[in-house]
Structure 1
Amino acid sequence: MTQNPEQAKPDLSKITEVEVSELAQRLERDDYKNAFECLNDWHLLRSLAFQRPELVESYMYLLDLEAFDEC
């Protein structure tokens, strides 16, 4: 059974501080069955960083985002 990708996306406006903390803890432990699970969590944290930065401020180091010059 295939899952619609739109259904799999969580509503970022409803994610709580506790859920972000749990997400960050999973990423820190790197305790995943496969790389795709980790990548899904990383992409979720990254999306939150852009849309709800106040929730992710303490976990930015997990994203390893660096400013770069596009000149």
Structure 2
Amino acid sequence: MPTLHATIHRDVDHLTATDVAALAERLDEDDYDTPFAALDDWHLLRSLAFQRPELAAPYLHLLDLEAFDEA
């Protein structure tokens, strides 16, 4: 059985700009049956931001990432 990390990595490798736009639209509308479904999409977009930033760049506002000052 593949791990979540392996599944996300495989998905990220095969996503197109159209797929990412649909993912972002789902996240923006926030209309999910369960919180876990939303979290899965959020994790997928986050993985895209690190692994294929050119696809995720227009949708980074949906991730709410902030720089943390550890000092």
TM over 0.5: yes
Q: Which 5+ residue runs of structure 2 have no aligned equivalent? A: none
Offset of residue 5 of structure 1: 4.4
How many residues of Structure 1 are paired with residues of Structure 2 in the alignment?
A: 68
Equivalence map 1:1-71=2 (5 Å): 4-6=1-3, 9-10=7-8, 11=10, 12-71=12-71
The ranges of structure 1 where at least 4 consecutive aligned residues each deviate by more than 4 angstroms after the TM superposition are none
CA separation in 2, counterparts of 1:66 and 1:19?
25
Specify the structure having the higher radius of gyration (Cα).
1
Higher helix share: 2
Alpha-carbon displacement from aligned partner over 1:20-69 (angstroms, at most 9, x marks no partner): 00000000111110000000000000011011111010000000001111
Q: When the two structures are superposed, what TM-score results if normalisation uses the length of structure 1?
A: 0.86
Kindly provide the amino acid, as one letter, of the partner of residue 17 in structure 2: E
